[in-house]
A and B are shown apart, each in its own frame.
Chain A
């Protein structure tokens, strides 16, 4: 059973460009969470999604950030018009559809650098 997959692992963007981060949850998992981690800090929640639904986006900035988890394909975190302050590691986690649904497993992360 492959773990949570994220790509790209590293992404470099210039200010004003768009960044698209992808996350494929583990097989059998229908809950996806996105977190942001700044250097030497903990993980900060951004958004919680299930297939075709945003359940909780209270941690996501109101502007420039959006997330989706379509019926087919990976979850996407999209950052428009990136600024230097968006540079961080973005981690996706997933949890099972049944059973121990609260247990979150993390992907390897996407490290975004904005020049």
Chain B
């Protein structure tokens, strides 16, 4: 199956700085890569996703980049705010099908200091 590695496990930044979280995957057939944000005690919320036919996608302060050759994708958050503090998870489907199970990274605890 797919193996998703996520780094770093914890990340602390000052408000206004940028934060970058990186993930690698093993199955070259994976073609859909979502990112989820989970606040303490809450549900994982989809914040952005990217499909393999594009290399970058942006939504306001959040962007995701994808390098299919190197099999890695990254989440970029600019102008961070204290409310960005949460655990962020990357995921990939594996197996060449976008339907079905998602393999999740172990998560990155992001803390934004005011």
Contact = CB atoms under 8 A, between A and B. Distances in A.
B100 A91 contact: no
Nearest to B95: A56
Nearest to A46: B101
Given A42-B89, A43-B89, A91-B43, A56 B106 contact: no
Contacts of A106: 36, 43-46
A40 B49 CA distance: 23
Interface residues of A, number: 25
B34 A104 contact: yes
A33 B100 CA distance: 8
Interface residues of B, number: 22
A58 B42 CA distance: 26
Contacts of B70: none
A104 B98 contact: no
Interface stretch (A13-21, A63-71, A72-80, A95-103): A95-103
Contacts of A107: 43
Contacts of B44: 43, 91, 106
A102 B101 contact: no
A76 to B, nearest CB: 19
Given A43-B44, A43-B89, A91-B44, A102 B99 contact: yes
A43 B88 CA distance: 12
Nearest to A47: B101
B105 A102 contact: no
A45 B102 contact: yes
A109 B36 CA distance: 15
B8 to A, nearest CB: 14
20 contacts: A33-B100, A33-B101, A33-B102, A35-B104, A40-B107, A41-B106, A42-B89, A42-B106, A43-B89, A45-B102, A45-B103, A48-B101, A56-B101, A91-B43, A95-B99, A102-B32, A103-B34, A103-B46, A104-B102, A108-B43
